[in-house]
Amino acid sequence: MGTRERERDRELLIPVSTISENGVAKSSTPTATPATPSSHGHEAFLKVIRSWAGKKFMTGCVILFPLAITFYITWVFIHFIDGFFSPIYDQLGINVFGLGFATSITFIFLIGIFMSSWLGASVLTLGEWFIKKMPLVSYIYSASKQISYIFITSTVVLQRHW
């Protein structure tokens, strides 16, 4: 806790009085009605409790907000990927949440294995040659290939520093 917060909390707990020019003590905390010392302490205590509770509530919000956003985006992503293969499973009468997602991940893994072979590299080279001959599609493919390259290189750099 910072020194400013401590000073403010002390001011809320301990009423500070000042001496005016005519020698009369004057309280720095305004009161609407004359209060007994016990009720003034009670009000100060309630102010401190409200301040403390507000800070703790905001701390909880700061912690939970990123977690909620992360889980929500992950949930949407799984539903999106799950949607690719789920129509096939619906036709078969299989309705298991996440099965389409698992199938998609397996499919991507198998494509990676195939493209790492000589035959896969040859198919990729031929496919890229066809794509480069298409006017608009070639620009989209080039841009997405550069983005994936940047993502892969930044991931490798991050893994080295972890």
The confidence score (pLDDT) of residue 119 equals 92
Tell me the pLDDT of the chain averaged across its residues: 78
The confidence score (pLDDT) of residue 122 equals 92
**pTM of this structure:** 0.46
> Quick one: which of 2, 27, 8, 7 has its CA closest to 17?
27
The residue behind tokens 């949407």 is 76
Mean pLDDT of 62-85: 84
Query: Taking 70 as the threshold, does the pLDDT of residue 53 lie above it?
Result: yes
Mean pLDDT of 150-158: 69
Strand bridging mode 17-19 / 25-27? antiparallel
Helix/strand/coil for 73:
helix
Return the beta strands (E) in the chain as ranges. Answer: 17-19, 25-27
Domain boundaries, the chain: 44-96
The confidence score (pLDDT) of residue 109 equals 92
> What pLDDT, in 10s, does the model give residues 14-29?
555 555 556 555 555 5
Q: How confident is the model at residue 114 (pLDDT cuts 50, 70, 90)?
A: very high
Helix/strand/coil for 6:
helix
